[in-house]
Amino acid sequence: KLVAQWDKGQFAPVYVVAGEEPFFAHALTDALLERALPEADRTFNQSVLYGRDVDARSVESEAKRFPMMAERTVVVVREAQDLRNLEDLAAYVKNPQPQTVLLLSLTGKALDKRKALYKTLK
């Protein structure tokens, strides 16, 4: 269903892909990356980060960037379960940058349903 929406150019500002099986998370992430931006726009408007290498503030900063001569900016955080201060993204999720598509890909772990980030995403 998501891929069909993406094929029509319909993107939400925030996605969370989570599951025990990394294959599906990677496949959905790759599908988004292929569809969200034309190849010519990816150099300046697409960021792929790894949770173990960044913190929530860095992700938020990346997500708040305006697109450069493109319709949108795409920020993907692979292995987001390793992101330091993941919960700090709740404030961004409440008021996301409309020109940004942020995808958090968690493998082997789901978001804690008791935390603010999960409740904000609901």
3-state secondary structure of 98: coil
- Which residues sit opposite 55 in a β-bridge? 84
Residue 115 in contact with residue 81, Cβ under 8 Å? no
* Model pTM score: 0.89
Residues 55-105: pLDDT tens digits?
A: 999 999 999 999 999 999 999 999 998 888 888 898 999 999 999 999 999
- The mean pLDDT of 106-114, rounded to a whole number, is 71
- Report the CATH fold assignment for 15-121: Rossmann fold (3.40.50)
The DSSP 8-state label assigned to residue 102 in this structure reads E
Residues 8-53: pLDDT tens digits?
A: 999 999 998 887 788 888 899 999 999 999 999 999 999 999 999 9
